[in-house]
Amino acid sequence: MNRTDARPPLAAADQHLVDGVLAKNRRSLAKSITLIESTRHDHQQRAHQVIEALLAHTGNSIRIGISGVPGVGKSTFIETFGLYLIEQGLKVAVLAVDPSSSVSGGSILGDKTRMELLSQRPEAFIRPSPSAGSLGGVADRTRETLLLCEAAGFDVVIVETVGVGQSETSVAAMTDIFMLLQLPNAGDDLQAIKKGIVELADLIVINKADLDPQAAALAQAQLKSALSMLRHTTPGWEPPVLILSALKSDGVAAFWAEVTRYRETMSASGEFIAKRRGQALAWMWELIDRGLSARFRGNPQVKAKMPALVEAVALGHTMPTLAAQRLLGLFEGK
């Protein structure tokens, strides 16, 4: 039995969504994303069936991750870059992973006034970060939305995140090329290097070069020399450092040229597809790990013994190794 035979037929409403997404209907796309983001179990089940039915039509975009601290110019850059892509005849979707929206109830990235020009274009689709759940949950929803956008025919999918916390790792794990936006000052570079974000970057862009071109050139030289000492995560690619002004729309064509060069270089070596396959498998294992952990913590036997063992370990009366073995044993019904 092949995969298609194994899949139960979709309900009429869901088949309608699938057809709508494939017909590039924005309402169908938005409705499917709403299903993905719903916390209701039956909605999520339906959403997964819709995505599964669309899977053969995914994978055709270039997925670009963009990170940088608040104020560095992410939305200005995405607006300028998005409009540039539209001029080239391409369609662009912009998604976000913003863990702050679930922690504080407020969002760093969700401001409706951002990307005002781009949001009015029919060739663009902008969706703020899902706000429910942990970083893992937010990232899952964004990954799934990314697949829907691909099925709906978007040529470029941008996934934006903020340079605070762990969200960069999640975004780098769902995109083909991860770009870090930096300000033209050395202190900023050091922060990013310390936090290990620079290692994730396939491309570094120093923005606001119009403010102080000399400082931008200095930051570029420093980052280049710092990069030469770091081990980069994408083999076969030396991350370039570009200078740009998002506000003046200066350097955007050069940025796109680098993204294209990356895609061509990595496709030629087989790395492009290998990276995507690795990401899909890593995502599956991450879901298994998270699922197991949730089941373990929710297991009644484990829950009953957990407080006493936690206290015994904290007081130094029991070895962490033994406590873990005991709890895992209870989980396995031993």
Residues that bind ligand GDP (CB under 6 A): 68, 70-76, 207-208, 210-211, 245-247
Are the C-beta atoms of residues 181 and 117 closer than 8 Å to each other? no
Nearest alpha-carbon partner for 258 in 322, 203, 334: 203
- Name the maximum alpha-carbon separation found in the chain: 67
CB of 143 to ligand GDP, least distance (A): 22
Rounded CA gap, 36 and 33, in Å? 5
CB of 280 to ligand GDP, least distance (A): 29
At 221, which helix (H) or strand (E)?
Answer: helix 213-229
CB of 209 to ligand GDP, least distance (A): 7
Rounded CA gap, 287 and 143, in Å? 13
User: Which one, 181 or 327, has the nearer CB to ligand GDP?
Assistant: 181
User: Which one, 114 or 141, has the nearer CB to ligand GDP?
Assistant: 114
CB of 247 to ligand GDP, least distance (A): 3
User: Which one, 21 or 64, has the nearer CB to ligand GDP?
Assistant: 64
User: Which one, 167 or 207, has the nearer CB to ligand GDP?
Assistant: 207
CB of 104 to ligand GDP, least distance (A): 16
User: Which one, 76 or 131, has the nearer CB to ligand GDP?
Assistant: 76
Query: 269 vs 65, 82, 200, 275, 334, CA distance in Å?
Result: 21, 28, 20, 11, 49
Specify the amino acid at residue 210. Answer: D
The residue of the chain with the least Cβ separation from ligand GDP equals: 73
| 152 secondary structure, DSSP code | T
User: Which one, 70 or 298, has the nearer CB to ligand GDP?
Assistant: 70
Q: Which two tokens stand for residue 83?
A: 């409009």
Nearest alpha-carbon partner for 205 in 74, 71, 84: 74
Chain centroid, CA 331 distance in Å: 33
CB of 83 to ligand GDP, least distance (A): 14
